[in-house]
Amino acid sequence: MSLLIQNGTIITPDQRFVADILVTGETIDRIAPRIDPAEAGDVELIDANGKYVFPGFIDPHVHIYLPFMGTYAKDTYDSGSRAALVGGTTTLIEMCCPAREDDPWEAYQLWKSKAEGISACDYSFHMGVTRFDESTAPLLRRIVDDGITSFKVFLAYKGAFGVNDEELYQTCRLARELGVVVTAHCENADLVAQLQSALVAAGKVGPEFHEPSRPVSVEAEGVHHFCTFLKMTGASGYIVHTSCRDAVEAALKFQTQGVDVAIETVIPYLVLDKTYAERPDFEGAKYVMSPPIRDRDHQAYLWNALRAGLISTVATDHAPFDFAGQKEMGKPPESDFTKIPNGIPSVEHRPTLLYTHGVASGRIDLHRFVELLSTAAAKQFGMFPRKGSIQPGCDADLVIWDPEYRGTISAATHTMDTDYDGFEGFEIVGRPEVVTCRGQVSVREGRFVGTLGHGRQVTRHLRSQTQP
Ligand code: URP
Ligand code: ZN
Ligand code: ZN
Ligand code: ZN
């Protein structure tokens, strides 16, 4: 059956117009001021009058399967992809994060197996490079041939995912040769280790000491470090989860020197500040992520940088851990903040929070909203124009957005699999009413109605390649 979406206000980064959209099978067939249902044949009509129609959102930084800090992230592709779709995210890019000793190809197969036949939304992976030796390059080439056109390196997490400088150099060199983007978590791992030890030795063990153990200078140094490697190798880079002015400015300096490096921030940094991690009775642990949530001044800077076009994407860094039993692994007096699994669940809430605190608050307009949530990531990661746009021939990934909706976020009603919600009690303006993923209606009236297993791995092209 086809879909005829009638009278919606279509929003893309550079257009706004009212039209009907005919979806046939998995793709957009036609867009016109009015399409007669009679010519469309066997068709489901969807009334989008008074609603916005956005291209399906893309979350370029998600963790679903994640063995990390002595535990596993809580969501599976069942809960994670349903949560993504409820929020309007039709494609996610997950970080494939092998342990240092793992074989990259086997790790990639393992991560794929967690999604295949289960995910309700489309997906791809950034391939984590957590070791680089003589066996690595051929395996990475094979993974790139499978449509994975970005690597991920961690300058943080010493002794776990972190790479040394020689490995970073080799990864960037290979990326440059293949035309692959290197995405990077930028924090100086040695500084973090030293600061953590000093704080714990001084009895500063609560979650409120997580931020002082990874101050903005540590992040800015990581950015400078990574960008120096990009400059030396000519590779293209993408800095994930940038939390503060110092880190953004460090990257901008390299951009003006001709280094191709894009900047991502994530939704927690835009709506939370470090006082959340200072909440009493260990509640602050819910807000421990790395880099940490910063002082409010940085939040204002990030919003300005989004509006000014300095930051290209807003992702989530969805990294879900329960409060009970998981975040509690770092609870004093038996333990300390360095043992709290890092991460905040958010794959469901990025669009509604960015709309509420960005569009409805007048900080960004609708066009920037759709660029930050969809189009920029599609371009950056080799999916445009199949994803991230509304045109005939594109995948029918569409979000029909009700700007009149009002609601409140709560763990009692969210789809994610965690026992808490970091945005509990946040009022939201607007939400996806209907979401389609390659032509399948996956959300109606804000509820998941799709099919597990409908999602497919997106074969991404290299940015240098001619687009299909
Ligand atoms: O705190 C975070 N960000 N957890 C997930 C792992 C990572 O660094 O992206
Ligand atoms: Zn990270
Ligand atoms: Zn350095
Ligand atoms: Zn992450």
How many angstroms does the Cα of residue 295 sit away from the middle of ligand 1? 19
**Nearest ligand atom owner, CA of 344:** 1
Q: Is 343 in the pocket of ligand 1 (CB under 6 A)?
A: yes
User: Ligand 1 atom closest to Cα of 185?
Assistant: 8
Of the candidates 8, 127, 80, 84, the residue with the CA atom closest to the CA atom of residue 373: 84
Q: Which residues of 208-239 are buried (b: 16+ CB within 10 A; e: fewer)?
A: bbbbebbbbebbbbbbbbbbebbbebebbbbb
Identify the pLDDT of residue 41: 87
Q: Is 458 in the pocket of ligand 1 (CB under 6 A)?
A: no
Q: Give the 3-state secondary structure percentages of the chain, helix then strand then coil, rounded to 5.
A: 35, 25, 40
pLDDT along the chain (468 residues), means of 10: 96 98 97 94 96 98 97 98 98 98 98 98 98 97 98 94 97 97 98 98 98 98 98 98 98 98 98 98 98 98 98 98 98 98 98 98 98 98 98 98 98 98 98 98 98 98 67
| Within a domain: 77 | yes
| Within a domain: 396 | no
Q: How far apart are CA 108 and CA 96, in angstroms?
A: 7
Identify the pLDDT of residue 158: 85
The domain of 143 spans 56-372
- Beta bridge partners, 127, equal 96, 151
Structure tokens at 284: 């602050």
Q: What is the pTM of this model?
A: 0.98
Q: How far apart are CA 258 and CA 264, in angstroms?
A: 18
Going from the C-alpha of 294 to that of each of 61, 208, 269, 422, the distances in angstroms are 19, 11, 7, 15
| Within a domain: 207 | yes
Of the candidates 132, 131, 128, the residue with the CA atom closest to the CA atom of residue 107: 128
Q: Phi/psi of residue 315, each to 5°?
A: -110, -165
Identify the pLDDT of residue 468: 44
Q: How far apart are CA 433 and CA 88, in angstroms?
A: 9
* Reported ipTM exceeds the 0.90 cut: yes
How many domains is the chain built from?
A: 1
| Within a domain: 360 | yes
Residue type, 164: N
Q: Is 317 in the pocket of ligand 1 (CB under 6 A)?
A: yes
- Beta bridge partners, 398, equal 55, 436
| Within a domain: 121 | yes
Give the residue, out of 289, 344, 346, 418, with the most ligand 1 atoms within 8 A of its beta carbon, to mutate for a pocket test. 289
User: Ligand 1 atom closest to Cα of 73?
Assistant: 5
* Atom 7, ligand 1: residue with shortest CA distance: 290
Q: Is 319 in the pocket of ligand 1 (CB under 6 A)?
A: yes
Give the environment of ion ligand 4: residues with CB less than 5 A: 317
Structure tokens at 322: 């329960």
Give the residue, out of 317, 321, 340, with the most ligand 1 atoms within 8 A of its beta carbon, to mutate for a pocket test. 317
Contacts of 204 (CB under 8 A, 6+ apart): 212
How many angstroms does the Cα of residue 218 sit away from the middle of ligand 2? 14
How many angstroms does the Cα of residue 375 sit away from the middle of ligand 2? 22
Write out 306-325 in H/E/C secondary structure.
HHCCCCCEEECCECCCCCCC
Residue type, 451: T
| Within a domain: 172 | yes
DSSP annotation of 335:
S
Q: How far apart are CA 253 and CA 248, in angstroms?
A: 9
| Within a domain: 99 | yes
**Nearest ligand atom owner, CA of 61:** 4
User: Ligand 1 atom closest to Cα of 240?
Assistant: 9
| Within a domain: 4 | no
Identify the pLDDT of residue 40: 85
The HSE-up count of residue 409 (CA atoms within 13 Å, CB side) is 26
Residue 79: CATH number of its domain: 3.20.20.140
Identify the pLDDT of residue 260: 98
DSSP annotation of 457:
B
What three-state secondary structure class fits 262? strand
User: Ligand 1 atom closest to Cα of 97?
Assistant: 6
- Beta bridge partners, 406, equal 429
